[in-house]
Chains A and B, each alone.
Chain A
Amino acid sequence: MSGETPPRDPVERVIELRLPSKLGYERVAMDTASSLARRMGFQPDRVESLKTAVSEAVTNAIEHGNEHDAAMKVVVLLTARAGELIVDVADQGRKPFDHNQTIRRPVIEEVLEQDDKGGWGIWLIRELMDEVEFSTAPSGGNQIRMVIHLEQ
């Protein structure tokens, strides 16, 4: 990422969660995102899509980025803007994103033949959110930014 730094959002529009890297805590992020989105006026089906995307992003950060080390934090930023909700999820990057994983579309016929039936998370995030961007934090952690627009 380069160019001008965008203006910072007013603090009162940003919710920050610092979650232990333990499976189950992704629910806290889901519930918070869901509560905020409903208050912003998102339709129930869009709230459901957001919950799935947030849970997948946080689960990825717990399992891959922070390798289940409960002492490492997953940081979730929820930014409510006029007409959109932005969700940033960052881990502490023990293991960087595999770029191929971020663009791959799993095919069920192939998955059925494999021992590993997983790998759907990032693809689901891309399908369900309006904008998705992967990046690396200056500290080396993985970051994913997801945006969902209100008008749809």
Chain B
Amino acid sequence: MMLEDELTVSTRECDGVAIIDLSGDVTTFAEEKINNAYHEVTSKGARHVLLNFRQNDYINSAGIAILIGIVTEVTRNEQKLAVSGLSPHFQKIFRMVGLAQYAEIYQDEEEALAAFKRQA
């Protein structure tokens, strides 16, 4: 039974923004994949990072802890972080936890890219 690992992470670049696509569940099993993707785009010099969720229906507190770890690194590396594609429930959770103070929340990738463009 595949109960552990149901996350696909990939990276791409668009309009100077490093996009990390996260499709699946964000739990404790996601740590290495998400951190590796972040380190990959950072080593290529990414200034703007977008975590693009795909309406993921399971993000738990261990997943939130991983994302807070990314926020710490983004601050240290003086990058700008945004998130998109979260379901309304997880947008609410991100706001409750306080992640929204560190990563602007956008409905979708297009909205996030447009916002990054305005800031550039």
Number of interface residues of A (CB under 8 A): 29
A87 close to chain B: CB less than 8 A: no
The verdict on A118 contacting chain B, using a C-beta distance below 8 Å, is yes
Interchain CB contact under 8 A, A45 and B89: yes
B8 at the interface (CB under 8 A from A): no
Q: Mark B74-109, 1 if CB is under 8 A from A, else 0.
A: 010000000000011100010011110110000000
Contact of B98 with A124 in the complex, beta carbons under 8 Å? no
Q: B115 near A: Cβ within 8 Å?
A: no
Assess whether A118 is in contact with B62, with CB atoms less than 8 Å apart: yes
Cβ of B93: which chain A residues have Cβ within 8 Å of it? 52, 124
Give bound CA distance, A46 to B115, whole Å.
31
Asked whether any CB of chain A lies closer than 8 Å to the CB of B36, the reply is no
Q: Is the CB of A24 within 8 A of B89?
A: no
Proximity bits, A100-122, B CB within 8 Å = 1, else 0: 00000011110110001111110
* B4 lies within 8 A of chain A by Cβ: yes
Q: Which listed residue (B4, B27, B99) contacts A108, Cβ 8 A?
A: B99
Q: Which of B62, B68, B89 has a CB less than 8 Å from the CB of A111? A: B68
Q: Shortest beta-carbon distance, B77 to chain A, in Å?
A: 14
Closest to A28 in B: B3
B58 touches A108 (CB 8 A): no
Q: Could you list which residues of chain A lie within 8 angstroms of chain B, going by C-beta atoms?
A: 22-27, 30, 45, 48-49, 51-52, 55-56, 59, 106-109, 111-112, 116-121, 124, 127
